[in-house]
Structure 1
Amino acid sequence: MMKEHKTKNIFMQGPISPSFIADSIAKHSTKTEIGAHDIFLGQVRADEVNGQKVKAIEYTAYEEMALEKMHMIREAIFEKYNLTCMHIHHSLGEIAAGEICLFVFTSSAHRKAAIEACNEVVERIKAELPVWGKEIFEDATHQWKVNQ
């Protein structure tokens, strides 16, 4: 029987800083059974929509429901892939174009498991979590709701 992992809060207010990402990577140097890491970084794009340029996205979530669903996804991924660890961080609040809003970090003894697990986690987050992004335009009089 597989060990159950505890529910983790994946949400953080504001953008995910490069120093946070670097620190997360550095903390794994003592885990010498790891041979591979895979990282996905989601960054806010300065898209143009109807002639308006996106300056930021405001992320909101049904946090309790999202954390419950994320826990189920984590358990399924740990069961499917031979991972050493998995870390997921998703921004809430206003994230400016160019800033990081999603950080998924998987580690395993071998690269295939880390790569495939990271990809599946990202796809499932996008498809299954109740998280929304509202585009904020340079001309703030126009706002459109979009899914993350």
Structure 2
Amino acid sequence: MEKTTTEKNIKPRKPKNIFVEGAISPTFIADSIAKHSTQHAIGGHSIFLGQVRNDVINGQEVVAIEYTTYTEMALDKMHVIREAIFAKYPLTCLHVYHSLGKVKSGEICLFVFTSAKHRKEAIDACEELVERIKAELPVWGKEVFASEEFVWKINSPNQDL
């Protein structure tokens, strides 16, 4: 079966490494946003920043979360999610960065950034992307207490990062 003109012009994207060791710095986030100012076809951006909370579990305050993953499996899954979002929404670009290792309470552990010609597409894509990352990406976190004891974090569909 012959490909359509649109299919012929689309280059398949390669899986991108989304993982950052430790917290995602405010400077990194600001630089990422600033790089898009030269793209004049963009009319809207949507950004989600996931921050480590200092929850109290059984009387102990969470001081950090230590994230781990099987990198190759996670990157393959992220590529599938990324391609599905690009197929569904008319985005100009989409960026995801997720921390690995220890991230202290108050620090950023997830940065999702979508851009499109119109704000609604950017916002809707960002929201769906965050929900899919939370539900499907094989990344696990240990909630670490001041005592250095820990419990494995369990995400539920309506729970924030």
TM-score > 0.5 by shorter chain: yes
Deviation per residue, 1:37-58 (Å, 9 max, x gap): 0000000000000000000000
- 2:134 aligns with 126
Task: Check the 8 A contact 1:131/1:147 in 2, yes or no.
Answer: no
Q: 10, 14, 25: which is aligned to 2:18? A: 10
Q: How far off is 1:76 after superposition?
A: 0.5
Correspondences of 1:1-148 after superposition (within 5 Å): 1=7, 2-140=10-148, 142-147=149-154
User: Which of structure 1's runs of 4+ aligned residues deviate more than 2 A?
Assistant: none
The structure carrying a bigger strand percent of its residues is 1
Relative to structure 1, is the Cα distance of residues 84 and 35 closer, same or farther in structure 2, using a 3 angstrom cutoff? same
Report the TM-score when normalising by structure 2.
Answer: 0.89
* C-alpha separation in 1, matches of 2:55 and 2:111: 20
Partner-residue secondary structure (3-state), 1:147: coil
Task: Check the 8 A contact 1:56/1:96 in 2, yes or no.
Answer: yes
The letter for the 2-side match of 1:144 is V
* C-alpha separation in 2, matches of 1:30 and 1:76: 26
* Percent of aligned positions that are identical: 67
The letter for the 2-side match of 1:22 is A
Considering only aligned residues, what root-mean-square deviation do their CA atoms show, in Å? 0.9
Partner-residue secondary structure (3-state), 1:94: strand
* C-alpha separation in 1, matches of 2:51 and 2:39: 28
Report the TM-score when normalising by structure 1.
Answer: 0.97
Q: How far off is 1:3 after superposition?
A: 3.4
Q: Which runs of 5+ in 2 are unaligned?
A: 1-6, 156-161
* C-alpha separation in 2, matches of 1:110 and 1:88: 20
Task: Check the 8 A contact 1:56/1:95 in 2, yes or no.
Answer: yes
Select the structure of larger CA radius of gyration.
2
